[in-house]
Structure 1
């Protein structure tokens, strides 16, 4: 029933009572204290019909409220089921990653040991290739294990200055990659207000920053890298932009998926886990990450952290 129908039912219910109240009030104001008694003999059928007519609007309203409550209960049950399904899917995924790590770790260790021993006897390109590929698989297994741990590891939060965290990450990248150090520009917006300290798990958040900064340096062999920090609408915003090769439009929707790598990045070493780690870290902190990119122009990764209290 529409809202206008509810109004009509309410009026039908209230009009008789209202009319009686108005009449009685008028008599009192006029000083009329007489008692008016009206006796009217009605057949039983008429009395029954009147009772039904009087009760009909009220019963419709009650039925409508009952249906609304039932819908609310149903919607709540659907939402709870969706949350349980998502949690179960995540738990299944974590168990899969743990099994994968367990099953692959020992064989890969044996392969690498054999390759190293063989290279000691005869330095051949074939054994060097075996060792390199086994090392690549070992790195992939390690990153998958790290991703599974991120999902369940309790956060050890502390209050930190994002400006200091970013400065330290930039310095660390400069030590590892001196060629990239001279291309990085770091700007912080302090007017009309500075970014306040935030509560984060420093190890995990630093891991996310290191991944994004490392990608910016790895996929842009030249050109500037800009790191920007500002506050906006209760969020701490970190932007890391580069003038590198960018990401093809067809690959952009998949960049945060596990093992996803852009078509134009096959020549650069990597496991395809980095941005998945970043997204997991940001989600666990109540934040998010997004990326804008144009092939052959560059990319900008935006990380948002909520500023609480």
Structure 2
């Protein structure tokens, strides 16, 4: 029943009663009707009337609540569908970009292999460096696309052991970082728990954050701090490097985003986007706090499930 029909049904008896009363009044009808009813029955009648009114109000409220819940559910499903479509479109974009860039880069590097560097050494060196940079970018884009779609291979992960392995690996790759990185794991009142996760992906996320800390802090200490957090775990990587400008801190997790003061350091701008994807796939998250000229803290949150 529509609202208009319901209003007519409710208003019709009242309108007819008012019309009949006017007719009787104009006709000079002045007789009175007296009805004697015992007081207990009056109380009963009033109680019944109030019960009917309350039942109608409850029924209308429940119906309105159901309609609102159905509308909210439809909006939520539409939002989730929109997010899924957005992620699918993003993956298709990365796959197309990978395909479009891979063949030209391969052709450039193959051509350079046949060029005599003695003929134009400076030009050949610049072209080769840019070709290698593009190849690394394509590789990072492919890696990001794969991480968004590959199934998680979950197993118990000892985050402290994973952090120490990551520090050892970065010190092997970058000798200038040796002796500057420390791992601090809280044990009081309780230790960092062993959590379910994909150890390869979590290691990749931590590797990327550590690599950034080393790249953007030529000297000074770097701390990897672990603590328990409501049954989950928090990993903080803190450095004393150049920091991130305030206007860029909300953008550094976007694909290909780089702060203005980071353009002189080689990189693709994919690393932190990759970190965010890995943590989100684990149900966690990542955020960054930084002061330009003072340092940066990147916080990884890994939940219990």
- 2:272 is the alignment partner of 1:275: yes
Aligned to 1:219: 216
Residue aligned with 2:191, SS: coil
Matched pairs, number: 264
3-state SS of 1:72 partner:
helix
Does residue 240 of structure 1 match 2:249? Answer: no
1:302 is aligned to 299
Partner of 1:193: 190
Please show how residues 24-173 of structure 1 align to structure 2 within 5 Å: 55-120=52-117, 122-173=119-170
5+ unaligned residues in a row in structure 2: which ranges? 1-35, 38-46
* Distance across 1 between alignment mates of 2:275 and 2:171: 21
Uncovered stretches (5+) of structure 1, i.e. residues with no partner: 1-38, 41-49
Cα gap change, 1:117 to 1:234, in 2 (>3 Å): same
SS at match of 1:250: helix
Q: Is the 8 A contact 2:195 2:232 kept in 1?
A: no
Q: Is the 8 A contact 2:243 2:293 kept in 1?
A: yes
Maintained 8 Å contact 2:154/2:196? yes
Output the TM-score relative to the length of structure 1. Answer: 0.81
In 2, Cα distance between equivalents of 1:185 and 1:139: 29
TM-score, structure 2 as length reference: 0.82
The one-character-per-residue Cα deviations of 1:13-43 (angstroms, maximum 9, x if unpaired) are xxxxxxxxxxxxxxxxxxxxxxxxxx97xxx
Spell out structure 1 runs of 4+ moving beyond 4 A: 50-54
Q: Which residue of 1 aligns with 2:247?
A: 250
Query: Quick check: 2:284–2:301 contact (8 Å CA) kept in 1?
Result: yes
Give the drift of 1:53: 7.3
Shift of residue 239 of structure 1? 0.7
Give 1:125 deviation, angstroms: 1.0
- C-alpha RMSD of matched pairs (Å): 2.1
